[in-house]
Amino acid sequence: MKLLSKIFKGKSQGKDFVKNWEMNERQEHTLKRTAALGGSGAGTGAVIGLAAGGLKAYSEIRKVPVQEVTVDHYESVTQRELMGHIPDDDYERGRWRPSDDGVPTEPIYRDNPVYGRDGNPRLRRTSTTFRGRGEAQPTEWREEKIHHHKMNEADPYDYSTRADRERYLSHYETVTKSRRVPYSDTETYQDCATSYNSDGSSSYDCDTKTRTVTRYRTEHYQDQEPVYRYRTVGYWQNYSENIESRVVGTVDKPNVEFDHGVDVGNYLLKGLLFGAAVGAVAGGVAAALEEEYFPGVLPGYSPKPSKPGNEPPRPEPPVGEKPDPKPIPKPDPKPIPKPDPKPQPKDCGERRRHTHDDGQFRHSHPSADRWHYHGCPDEGVFNEDIICFKPSQVPDCYEDDKPVKSCDSNGSVCYTTR
């Protein structure tokens, strides 16, 4: 009865350990998913909130009444004068670049100041009306220069040409091209799954299956491609006036700005913070709904290894000890070995051939820090004639022995102890 009690107690603790391990791993990935969605929602909400804050500020500015301010000032009196003539732009066909042979027929005008008897530019009084939303600010004055324009008598205009080129078909040439051609193929793959045993250990089983896939192959073929060339068919002739200007005086010009009184930056900041907060909350709610209605499919959470042979090692709790609820259990403490009246040979940590009066099915020894089983792990029954290890923990001294094939269905490697 004592042996059966320990066996069933070990099975129950193994199930609780696997359940707690998966629950903690699930909680960890749920927190990561919530943080990711919350951060993404905060960024999106910040952008939307910033735009909303800008629209709110614009709406408040539109509520401010429009005001007008009229400022009196002086301006220069001008008159339109003929500067001279330049040739008209022209186009000439032919492959030879033409020369400057245009006739000056196009008149060029400029506005020049009118001078008084003292030789200075004449000024007249005028006024300018400024409109804006909010309170008018003090008038700002800036100095504006008065220019007198005159055409350069020695070189009255500038001349330039631009070639007119056309594209034409020269010939065809043969080129080698490649393309991807799809075709169907059959491939084999491994359908693997991790199963958990009653003692808390896990096994990784794979089935070989086939499926139809689409593949591509590279195909080379010959094709004809047109070859194009360019040739000159004519030239555009362009003329521009060569005007010289000199400063003959200055006049003060007013400028009035308006203050609408709306703190645009404050609206933008409030919209940014509010949008980020709402986006973060929305991301957290989305993660909670995803976990509620789609459990077990959170990105990054998968209780099954994604690739065969890459499953992470999962330490199991020994019989009689409380499993650690953390996702990655801490190493189990080494039990104190009972005194053995008979001296044992120093082989495999002094514990290669040994038995147990208390019938411990799964345990380790201080001299050989590795878990092993006495009996087949799937059966969960103590058998001192069988000792089993994980494949990565087989002692070197067992390499020459022949494993027992009837006991390794869960992936363990087993040997006889006699």
For residue range 209-239, list pLDDT tens digits in order. 999 999 999 999 999 999 999 999 999 999 9
pLDDT of 138 reads: 92
Assign residue 414 a region (left: φ > 0; alpha: ψ between -120 and 50; beta: otherwise): beta
> Average of pLDDT values for 251-256?
95
Residue 121: pLDDT above 90? yes
Chain mean pLDDT for the chain:
80
Asked if 162 contacts 236 with a C-beta cutoff of 8 angstroms, the reply is yes
CA dist 175 and 172 (Å) reads 10
Query: CB pairs under 8 A, 24+ apart, for 94-98?
Result: 94/234, 94/235, 95/231, 95/232, 95/233, 97/161, 97/163, 97/235, 98/161, 98/235, 98/237
Res. 88: pLDDT tops 90: yes
| pLDDT, greater one: 53 or 340 | 53
Question: What are the pLDDT digits (tens) for 304-335?
Answer: 444 555 555 555 555 555 555 555 555 656 66
pTM for the full model? 0.45
Least confident of 118-122, 299-303, 374-378, 402-406: 299-303
Backbone torsions φ then ψ of 61, nearest 5 degrees: -65, -40
Under 8 Å CB-to-CB from 8, ≥6 apart: which residues?
none
Strand partners, 236: 91, 162
Dump strand ranges (E) for 197-269: 202-241, 243-255, 258-259
Cα separation, 18 vs 327, whole angstroms: 10
Residues 152-156, mean pLDDT to the nearest whole number: 92
pLDDT of residue 350: 47
DSSP character string of 301-333: --SS-SSTT-PPP---PPTTSPPP-SSSPPPPP
Task: Give pLDDT, residue 3.
Answer: 47
**Percent of the chain with pLDDT strictly greater than 90:** 44
- Higher pLDDT, residue 107 or 389: 107
Band of the pLDDT at 394, cuts 50, 70, 90?
confident
pLDDT grade, residue 392 (50/70/90)?
A: confident
